[in-house]
């Protein structure tokens, strides 16, 4: 009880379920629905999925528990949490804040696409069964100059409005309805997709690994995708954990959240990739995959328009529960550090992120010939730096910190609520965090850079 009062100014989750919903809300988002299927599509299908699942089992659960524990113990944002335990480590949290900043700038662009597709499906503009026309519709929209930027702005504005109000109002309540609905609608879509004529090729592509497709850059992509999808490696779960009361069962949360997240990613894969093959698309077409394929699936369903509208509303909701967590990482840091007002900080940061996102949007069209890293445009460069470099690096440093710097007793007490909770896998978990996870990340990282 005392904790609740102590943290009044920072806000706190209304209930235990509230935290699970919010953390799962942060994890489940465009990463699962939009990014995972297209990453699987460009990285050889089943092979990528297999590597992804192995990484979740090995690293996902362990790091989730570590981040939540660190946040709850210190009751601070990402940077504050590190430096409270050891002054020299604050910069690790700063890397996370930078990652959040970069991710949100292109995430919001894609969020804008979702809003546009919601509008399009509501007005019947997507009632097109010719897959090639759907492809042109998508390409035409994202490569245009002003409209995608306006939608990107709308998405940022909604994100801002939610963060503005604070952490526990609204979000929790809405999640209780929206998250289960999302689950149901994806299952329906997956069933429709898998039963389309010609879909079996896609099912095989998605679940049967072709080991010749696995190389270190596929593994790094999968690693980055795990971090991205689980919101790990950047202090997001530290920040969310910091709003958590002392009675929550951390190991349980650390297991449930990755399970939900992975289930939704796999279902999204089943909803999209089989349909890709059924409609004769190529699986490796990149970020447009969901936007081109699913409208084609809707056109093959009774009440397709209703499903389409419903689906894009739920995707938008999922995207927003993630984008608010990204913005929250940045805002929480500034509010904790300089005591600025939450409102003003949120507005300023949202404007800057909006501006930084504009090149990502333009790189789909007029700026598509500008290359930064390798032959990546702005969009892919932001994504690569954040997901494939900053997040794995943040995850690696988190392991070193929790495994080697944080006092073991303090860490154990936090995770077991001072011995009240039986966490049978405590030793295994600690071994993973201390040795296996950091070594695994380091190997993938170094090998793929070569």
Q: Which residues bind ligand PHE (CB under 6 A)?
A: 26-27, 29-32, 103, 228-229, 231, 234, 236, 322, 325-326
Pick the closer one to ligand PHE by CB: 63 or 234. 234
In the chain, % helix, strand, coil (3-state, to 5) comes to 80, 0, 20
Pick the closer one to ligand PHE by CB: 299 or 322. 322
Rounded CA gap, 71 and 64, in Å? 11
CB 26 within 8 A of CB 325: yes
For the chain, give the number of residues: 450
Rounded CA gap, 48 and 41, in Å? 9
- For residue 360, the minimal CB distance to ligand PHE (Å) is 15
- For residue 96, the minimal CB distance to ligand PHE (Å) is 9
Contacts of residue 223, defined as CB under 8 A and 6 or more positions apart, other chains included, come to 55, 59, 388, 392, 441, 444
Give the number of other Cβ atoms within 10 Å of residue 284's Cβ.
14
- For residue 366, the minimal CB distance to ligand PHE (Å) is 27
- Long-range residue pairs from 165-170, CB within 8 A, at least 24 positions apart, any chain: 166/11, 166/342, 167/11, 167/12, 167/13, 167/22, 167/243, 167/328, 168/11, 168/12, 168/13, 168/14, 168/18, 168/243
- For residue 404, the minimal CB distance to ligand PHE (Å) is 24
Pick the closer one to ligand PHE by CB: 391 or 432. 391
With tokens 């380091």, the residue in question is 442
Rounded CA gap, 422 and 424, in Å? 6
Pick the closer one to ligand PHE by CB: 356 or 405. 356
With tokens 């102590």, the residue in question is 6
Q: At what angle do helices 90-122 and 131-142 cross, to 10 degrees?
A: 130
With tokens 């690569």, the residue in question is 384
- For residue 155, the minimal CB distance to ligand PHE (Å) is 13
3-state secondary structure of 119: helix
- For residue 397, the minimal CB distance to ligand PHE (Å) is 16
Pick the closer one to ligand PHE by CB: 279 or 354. 354
Pick the closer one to ligand PHE by CB: 118 or 131. 118
Pick the closer one to ligand PHE by CB: 134 or 393. 393
3-state secondary structure of 81: helix
With tokens 């952490």, the residue in question is 167
- For residue 130, the minimal CB distance to ligand PHE (Å) is 30
User: Phi, psi (5° rounding) for residue 260?
Assistant: -60, -45
- For residue 30, the minimal CB distance to ligand PHE (Å) is 4
56 closest CA partner among 249, 229, 199: 229
- For residue 22, the minimal CB distance to ligand PHE (Å) is 11
Pick the closer one to ligand PHE by CB: 32 or 73. 32
Pick the closer one to ligand PHE by CB: 60 or 304. 60
- For residue 280, the minimal CB distance to ligand PHE (Å) is 29
Pick the closer one to ligand PHE by CB: 106 or 205. 106
Report CA 163 to chain centroid distance, whole Å.
17
Q: Given its phi and psi angles, is residue 235 left (phi above 0), alpha (psi -120 to 50 degrees) or beta?
A: left
Cβ-proximal residue to ligand PHE, closest one: 31
Pick the closer one to ligand PHE by CB: 26 or 75. 26
Q: Given its phi and psi angles, is residue 376 left (phi above 0), alpha (psi -120 to 50 degrees) or beta?
A: beta
- For residue 27, the minimal CB distance to ligand PHE (Å) is 5
DSSP 278-312: HTT--TT-GGGHHHHHHHHHHTTSTTHHHHHHHHH
């Amino acid at each position: 009880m005392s904790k609740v009062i102590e943290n009044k100014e920072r806000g706190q989750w209304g209930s235990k379920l509230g935290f699970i919903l919010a953390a799962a809300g942060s994890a489940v988002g465009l990463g699962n629905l939009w990014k995972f299927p297209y990453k699987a599509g460009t990285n050889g299908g089943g092979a990528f999925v297999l590597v992804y699942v192995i990484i979740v089992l090995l690293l996902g659960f362990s790091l989730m528990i570590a981040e939540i524990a660190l946040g709850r113990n210190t009751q601070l944002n990402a940077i504050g949490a590190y430096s409270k335990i050891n002054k020299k480590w604050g910069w690790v949290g700063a890397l996370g804040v930078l990652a959040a900043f970069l991710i949100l700038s292109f995430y919001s662009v894609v969020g804008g696409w979702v809003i546009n597709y919601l509008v399009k499906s509501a007005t019947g503009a997507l009632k097109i069964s010719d897959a090639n026309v759907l492809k042109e519709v998508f390409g035409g929209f994202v490569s245009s100059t002003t409209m995608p930027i306006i939608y990107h702005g709308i998405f940022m504005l909604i994100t801002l409005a939610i963060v503005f109000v604070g952490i526990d109002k609204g979000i929790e309540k809405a999640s209780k309805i929206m998250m289960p609905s999302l689950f149901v609608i994806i299952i329906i879509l997956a069933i429709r997709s898998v039963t389309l004529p010609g879909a079996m090729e896609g099912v095989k592509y998605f679940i049967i690994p072709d080991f010749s497709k696995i190389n270190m850059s596929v593994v790094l992509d999968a690693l980055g995708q795990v971090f991205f999808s689980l919101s790990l490696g950047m202090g997001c779960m530290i920040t969310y954990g910091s709003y958590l009361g002392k009675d929550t069962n951390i190991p349980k949360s650390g297991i449930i959240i990755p399970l939900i997240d992975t289930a939704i990613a796999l279902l999204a894969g089943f909803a999209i990739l089989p349909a890709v093959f059924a409609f004769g698309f190529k699986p490796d077409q990149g970020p447009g995959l969901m936007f081109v394929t699913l409208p084609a699936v809707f056109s093959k369903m009774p009440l397709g328009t209703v499903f389409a509208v419903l689906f894009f509303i739920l995707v938008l909701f999922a995207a927003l529960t993630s984008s608010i967590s990204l913005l929250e990482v940045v805002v929480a840091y500034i509010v904790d550090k300089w005591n600025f007002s939450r409102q003003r900080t949120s507005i300023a940061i949202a404007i800057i992120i909006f501006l930084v996102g504009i090149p990502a949007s333009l790189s789909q069209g007029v700026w598509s010939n500008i290359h930064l890293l390798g032959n990546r445009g702005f969009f892919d460069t932001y994504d690569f730096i954040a997901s494939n470099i900053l997040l794995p690096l943040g995850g690696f440093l988190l392991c070193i910190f929790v495994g080697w710097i944080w006092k073991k007793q303090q860490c154990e007490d936090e995770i077991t609520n001072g011995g009240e909770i039986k966490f049978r896998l405590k030793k295994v978990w600690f071994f993973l965090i201390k040795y296996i996870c950091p070594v695994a990340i380091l190997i993938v990282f170094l090998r793929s850079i070569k």
